[in-house]
Amino acid sequence: MRLTGCLQGMTRTMPISADTKGMTMFNWKAEYAVGHPDIDSQHKRLFQLAAELHSSMLAGHGKEILNRVLNNLISYTKHHFAAEEQLMADSGYPDYLQHKAKHDQLTAQVVEFQKDFVAGRTAITVDLLQFLSNWLQHHIGLTDRKIAAYLHERSA
């Protein structure tokens, strides 16, 4: 499923005003911590990069800046996924293949979105950012928490 397909028909916009200055839907919360220092550090960085994309969109930055910020987010996401997948492989994590498939699916969706964005076929919207925020919160809260629990159990 393409990311733009997930958002088709959604045209909600958010006005840029003094009220939205400094607001972001990508606030790291302690409850997102999974208890593994490396994973938690990388998750915090993902939230920072996503917040930067959100801020750039709200500020009305041009396509070049938005694409650079989006590219940074995608690059770091790939780095994080690779690191997390290496941890899973090294530890013999039993749900490795299912977890990696979720990573691969999101990566493919976001890369396809970026191609459409660069080609002018889509825009960065609040709905896209809400999708990413929900994905991060859900994936970290459920899927990544299982990895951390497994690693903790193995080290005990």
pLDDT of 156 over the 70 cut: yes
Residue 71 is predicted with a pLDDT of 95
- pLDDT of 69: 94
Whole-prediction pTM: 0.83
Average pLDDT, the chain: 86
Domain boundaries in the chain? 36-155
Closest CA to 100 of 76, 83, 114: 83
Q: Among 113, 149, 155, which Cα is nearest to 39's? A: 149
What pLDDT is recorded for position 23? 62
CB atoms within 10 A of CB 135: 16
Q: Could you tell me the fold of the domain covering 36-155?
A: Four Helix Bundle (Hemerythrin (Met), subunit A) (1.20.120)
Q: What is the structure's pLDDT at 1?
A: 46
Tokens 């960085």 found at: 45
